[in-house]
Amino acid sequence: MVVVAVAGGLGDLGHLITKALLDTGKHEVYVMSRKRIEDETARISPLTGERYFPPIQTDYSSEDELTDHLTEHNIQVVICAFIMDNDSVSDAQLRLIRAAEKSPCVRRFVPTEFNVEYDASDDILPYPKKRFHMLARRELEEKTRTLEYAYVYPGMFMDYFGLPRVESVLRPLCFFVDPAHGQAFLPIGAGEAKMSMTTTTDFARYLALALDLESWPRVLSTATSTVTLNELVRLVEKSLGRPLNVRYQPVEALLQHTCFDLPANLESAAERWTERGGLDQLRALIADLEASVALGAYDLTQLTGHLDLVKAFEGTAPAPKTLEDLLEEAWEPKLPESP
């Protein structure tokens, strides 16, 4: 039972993490946000039995102000859930790390990672925005003395393979397979490349459970399914009850962002990405992540020296959703209801 603050707690993933923490019924949970939080509803702290108000509004511009916020609310754990895609957000996380280090009450810090091992070469993880995560890592590893911190790896978020038919905080994107249009593009020679994954909901739930652990190793993982790309295609085909039209393209095309686009991603670019760089930006994101899978970055079975939270809480927490479960839920043909 701790006092925990979720920075970026109004965002898509941050909201899920906040909910998972509250669902445990164990923690006093605060939400840090640049936006004004209109809901001023008080909660009852399970630690003190007293009323408290979760919102902490801040623009993250002042390290001293952040320190004051953390100290005033006696925050013991900080979980950062930013969308780490620009210098401004990166700088905000760095200031938050320094503030947590200065605060007399903060003992644990979880930086925005929530993917795979970012401390990898471009030969394995050709993802330019990993530089923002590396800045946070260096800050934690080289300059903090009092904080216990951990990197949390869910792998690929499994939700993508059921969108838009499963409930999710994520925007619809397709990686490798487009079940709705019956198509797939695989990298040549990478059919046996493995991809580990977790639903966003299970990821948030395991992160909340990790707060109960007495100590953290440097890496915590939450992957509930690991499949090869060939297995992914077979599982989607099984759920659909029909074959996919599978085509192939070189990994080099992914690295150069000259790759083919799945139909669903063309639709997403037109409907949801017009203000975020359009098709070119969307293609670059998908290509970088698909190339990283092909090159082995998403195979969490190769991790060593980490704690697998799925195994750690097996038997004491509800079973997580597997890829087979999600694909069946999303794509298995539904029989018409009887009149």
CATH assignment at residue 272: 3.90.25
CA 155 – CA 322 distance, rounded (Å): 13
Per-residue pLDDT reduced to its tens digit, 41-99? 889 999 999 999 999 999 999 999 999 999 999 999 999 999 888 999 999 999 999 99
Q: What is the pLDDT of residue 35?
A: 80
Domains identified in the chain, total number = 2
Asked if residue 135 is part of any domain, the answer here is yes
Per-residue pLDDT reduced to its tens digit, 117-136? 999 999 999 999 999 999 99
* Pick from 153, 301, 307: nearest CA to 215: 307
For the chain, how are helix, strand and coil distributed in percent, rounded to 5? 40, 20, 45
CA 285 – CA 130 distance, rounded (Å): 12
176 in the same domain as 136: no
240 in the same domain as 259: yes
172 in the same domain as 136: no
Asked if residue 337 is part of any domain, the answer here is no
Range of the domain at 17: 3-149
Asked if residue 112 is part of any domain, the answer here is yes
173 in the same domain as 49: no
Asked if residue 215 is part of any domain, the answer here is no
pTM beyond 0.85: the answer is yes
Asked if residue 230 is part of any domain, the answer here is yes
Burial label for 190, CB within 10 Å (0-12, 13-18, 19+), is: buried
In the predicted structure, residue 327 carries a pLDDT above the cut 80: yes
181 in the same domain as 43: no
The per-residue pLDDT of the chain, averaged, comes to 93
181 in the same domain as 49: no
Asked if residue 69 is part of any domain, the answer here is yes
Asked if residue 56 is part of any domain, the answer here is yes
170 in the same domain as 291: yes
Per-residue pLDDT reduced to its tens digit, 261-288? 999 999 988 877 766 668 888 999 999 9
Asked if residue 309 is part of any domain, the answer here is no
Residue found under tokens 């393209």: 249
165 in the same domain as 117: no
- Coil, helix or strand at residue 3: strand
235 in the same domain as 130: no
118 in the same domain as 62: yes
250 in the same domain as 293: yes
Average pLDDT over residues 243-269: 94
